[in-house]
Every structure is written in structure tokens, then in C-alpha cells.
Amino acid sequence: MYKLSFLICFAFLFTKSAKSQTTDTINLNASEQQFSDSIAQVNEQNEDLKASRDAYNEGLLLLGTENYIEAITHFTNAITIDSIFSEAYLSRAKCYEGQNDELAIVDYLKAFELDSSKVFPLYSVAALQFKTDKELAKQTYSLIIALNESEFKAISQLGIIAFLAKEYNTAEQYFTQSLAINTNAYTLNDRGSCYRKLDKLDLAVIDYLAAIALNSDLAFVYSNLASVYANQGDPEKALNYYDLAISIDVNYALAYNNKASILLENKEFDKANSAINKALVVNPDYAPAYNNKGVINHQLKKYEEAIDDFDKAISLDDNYAKAYLNRGVSKQMTRDEDGACSDWYKAKELGIMMVKKYLANDCE
């Protein structure tokens, strides 16, 4: 509509200009005067429009250089001039994201209000709501779907929300619904994880393999599949897929750590150590790797070193219940019974109830 108006204005301006060259001195009658006034009004409006667009364009430049605060100023100017400039709301919202999510949400919603044919602002709103209020995010995704039931991404997101709420059956249904519209590796991965949580490991394997078939570059899918094989009691396959995950992403600390866990169970302590060390090279602050390293050292009867490893894990996460549990066991082997009991009390406080037995038998 604005484009049309602009063309009309341009046409008028051109005509006026053309005419003015030949009729500079023509006196206008009433209707002509009225027409001339409306042209002047349009010209004025066009100037505003231009100013608004100029401000918007400057804002875009600043947004591009991540100069958010100044960009916001320009977008605000654009909006002040033209309060129905939806693109300006969108861009300003992007600037607000991370600084003030509430304002970002307001702008996205405004943008959607101005042009409800585009639902992507609602996706942005939902993504922001997801961080703090999953219920609200759920409502927004549901709205997107109500507007268009083919919005498979929104359906997937509802699945993720259900997954995080541990409603795995519901999550599985959403993922299936989404996949029926659009089959993609990410949603297949997510549904595979649902099946894993539901202990339907065979179905999990099928989905992970299907995800890989669609996109063979997702290291985490290989790793997830490996973990399922590990749970199924097939350490060889598990190790194979962890290696594949690592071959795709040589900095995938999770895969190194998980691989070490399998090797440890197989009592291949040297290889386990090697894998753990690689995890720690990639991520020197990876607490689970320190925990597992401590377990390896404990199995090798290197109790002091094991305690050092658990110390490190706890220093990275002072609520690391498993590390307290394990450290207590190692401390007991160094005859530090007081230290062992103290660690087990802490593990119990953090929710590991099985230490009650250790406390009853060994500490009380």
C-alpha cells in the first residue's frame, strides 16, 4: 500500500513539476487549490516516510555492527515518525534481545499485530519466553499452530517443552506430528531421545540412524546413538559411534568422556585415561571428566590421585553429588574415615540416598 501511495505521489510530483514549468504563473481555482493542497500534504507525508526509512536504514547499519543501543535509537526514530513501520519494530526487537527481553517481546508482538501474515515474530517471542516461562512459550507456539497447522517447527518446540517437563509420551506425539509434516534430522534426534527416556531403545536406534541418514554431520546424534548401544550392552558399537562423533567434531568433549566411561567398564584403563585426557584438553573445566578420571584412578588403586580428581570436579561444581560419593569411597581406602563420612553426609544432602547404608555401617 505504501508503495502504491509512493508511486502515486511520485506521479503527482512529476506531473506537478512538469506542469509547473509551463504554468508557473497560473492562478488555481478552488478544486485545483484543494488538489494542490492534497499534493502538498502527500509530499509532506512522503518526506516523513523518507525520514522514517532513512532512520531505519541507519539503524540497520548499526545493527550490523552490533551497535545495539544506537541502532535502537534510530529504529525508535523511525517508529516515532511511522508508527506502523513493522520492519522497524522487528529490527528494534532484535536489538532488545539479550538486553531487555520484555521489550523485545513487545516489539515482536507489535510487528506481528501490524502484519499477521508473518508468524516468525511469534517464533521469536516464544524463544524468548522459553528461557523463563515454558508455559507462556507453549501458549505462543500453540497460537502459531492455530494460525497454521503446518508449522512443524512450532510443533517440534512443543515436543521439546514436553520433553523438558519429562512428559516423554506427549513429547513423542508432538515430534511424530512434526515429522509427518517435515522430516528432518533434528526432530528425529529429539524423538529418538524420547524413545530412550521411555526405554524403547530399539525405536531410539531407528530414529538416530534415520537422523544420521538425513544429516551425517551432527556429532551429537552419533554420540546419542552410542549411548543407546551402551545401554543395550553393546560396548563395541557404542565405542564405534563415539569415535564417529569425534571424527566429525574433534573437540566434542562429551564423546571423549562417554567413550572413557565405556572403556572404564571394560577395564581398559589406559585407553579410558587417554580418552578422558582428550576431553580435558578440549574442555579443562569439564567436571564429569574429572569425576570419571577419579574413578579410573580409584580402580587402579591410585587413591590419592583419585581424590585429587574428585577435588577438582567439586571445585568446578560444588553440588556435584556423585563426586562427593566417589571421593568418600576413595578417602576410605586411604583410611581417612572422617573425610569419607563427611563426603557421604554431603552426598546425602545433595540427594544420593544410597549412602545412608554407608553412613549407618561405617560412620555411626
Stretch that binds other proteins, among 10-18, 84-92, 111-119, 181-189 (CB under 8 A): 181-189
Least distance (Å) from other proteins to the CB of residue 329?
Answer: 4
Q: By CB under 8 A, tell whether 326 contacts other proteins.
A: yes
Question: What DSSP string describes 97-129?
Answer: TTT-HHHHHHHHHHHHHH-TT--HHHHHHHHHH
| Cell numbers for 269 | 584403563
Q: By CB under 8 A, tell whether 227 contacts other proteins.
A: yes
| Cell numbers for 191 | 524423538
Least distance (Å) from other proteins to the CB of residue 241?
Answer: 12
Q: By CB under 8 A, tell whether 212 contacts other proteins.
A: no
In the region spanning residues 279 to 318, those forming contacts with other proteins, defined by CB under 8 A, are 288, 291-292, 294-295, 298-299
Q: By CB under 8 A, tell whether 223 contacts other proteins.
A: yes
| Cell numbers for 302 | 591410585
Q: By CB under 8 A, tell whether 91 contacts other proteins.
A: no
Taking only Cα atoms into account, the Rg of the chain, rounded to an integer number of angstroms, comes to 31
Stretch that binds other proteins, among 27-35, 61-69, 138-146, 353-361 (CB under 8 A): 353-361
| Contacting residue, 212, 332, 343, 346, with other proteins by CB under 8 A | 332
Q: What x-and-dash track marks residues 109-148 binding other proteins by CB under 8 A?
A: ----------------------------------------
Q: By CB under 8 A, tell whether 18 contacts other proteins.
A: no
Q: At 85, which amino acid appears?
A: F
- The Cα 339–Cα 295 span in angstroms is 17
| Contacting residue, 124, 129, 189, 273, with other proteins by CB under 8 A | 189
Least distance (Å) from other proteins to the CB of residue 323?
Answer: 8
| Cell numbers for 249 | 567434531
Question: What DSSP string describes 207-269?
Answer: HHHHHHHH-TT-HHHHHHHHHHHHHTT-HHHHHHHHHHHHHH-TT-HHHHHHHHHHHHHTT-H
Q: By CB under 8 A, tell whether 273 contacts other proteins.
A: no
Q: By CB under 8 A, tell whether 168 contacts other proteins.
A: no
- The Cα 105–Cα 184 span in angstroms is 28
Query: Which long-range contacts does 214-217 make (Cβ < 8 Å, 24+ apart)?
Result: 214/183, 214/184, 214/185, 214/188, 215/184, 215/185, 216/248, 217/248
- The Cα 40–Cα 25 span in angstroms is 18
- The Cα 269–Cα 292 span in angstroms is 11
Least distance (Å) from other proteins to the CB of residue 320?
Answer: 9
| Contacting residue, 12, 35, 220, 345, with other proteins by CB under 8 A | 220
Residue 164's SS3 state is helix
Residue 285's SS3 state is coil
Q: By CB under 8 A, tell whether 155 contacts other proteins.
A: no
Which phi-psi region, left, alpha or beta, contains residue 27 (left: φ > 0; alpha: ψ -120 to 50)? Answer: beta
Least distance (Å) from other proteins to the CB of residue 248?
Answer: 13
Q: Which residues bind to other proteins, rule: CB under 8 A?
A: 160, 163-164, 185-187, 189-190, 193, 196-197, 218, 220-221, 223-224, 227, 230, 254, 257-258, 261, 264-265, 288, 291-292, 294-295, 298-299, 322, 325-326, 329, 332, 335, 337-338, 352, 354, 357-358, 360-362, 364
